[in-house]
Amino acid sequence: MDPIINQIGIKDVEFGTDVQIVQPVNLYGCRIGSHVFIGPFVEIQRNSRIGDHTRIQSHSFICELVSIGESCFIAHGVMFINDTFSTGGPAGRQGQAWKPTVVGSHVSIGSNATILPVSICDHVVIGAGAVVTKDITLPGYYAGNPARLIKEKP
């Protein structure tokens, strides 16, 4: 039996001006602001938004319901999660139990960080490998698993 092969590529995306994309990528049903860079092997799913002047490095995954502000930096291999398995397993294909993530502006997220459904305020740096499990409401530097405030921003 032959496999079913789905090829997305770039489909139904609203782009701002001066966007740079390095293929291969999967971008579909999302909104990408102006002056954005998207590296290779990135997936940005529907109902997600990327703000102006944001850079997304290779191998990052931005699932549905993620909003990233302006002038952000998403390093290599950052994973956003929208399903907390609150029912004891995956939410299913329709995603009724999926939750949104909101990242403010001027936020930098280090390589291989994992971001659960949270809200992150402006002017935050998240260290490489950190796991953000709770809202971040104070500008500063966060690291660890779970991510904790290391130093407040002046």
Question: What is the C-alpha separation between 122 and 127, in angstroms, rounded?
Answer: 15
Contact 43, 29 (CB under 8 A): no
Question: What is the C-alpha separation between 27 and 29, in angstroms, rounded?
Answer: 7
Class of the CATH domain delimited by 10-152? mainly beta
Q: Where along the chain do its domains lie?
A: 10-152
Q: pLDDT per position in the chain (154 positions), as tens?
A: 899 888 889 999 999 999 999 999 999 999 999 999 999 999 999 999 999 999 999 999 999 999 999 999 999 999 999 998 887 888 876 667 899 999 999 999 999 999 999 999 999 999 999 999 999 999 999 999 999 999 998 8
- Interstrand relation of 124-126 and 119-120 (parallel, antiparallel or unpaired): unpaired
**Degrees (nearest 5) of the Cα angle 108, 46, 22?**
60
User: What is the pLDDT at residue 26?
Assistant: 97
User: What is the pLDDT at residue 93?
Assistant: 66
Alpha-carbon radius of gyration of the chain:
15
The pTM for the full model equals 0.94
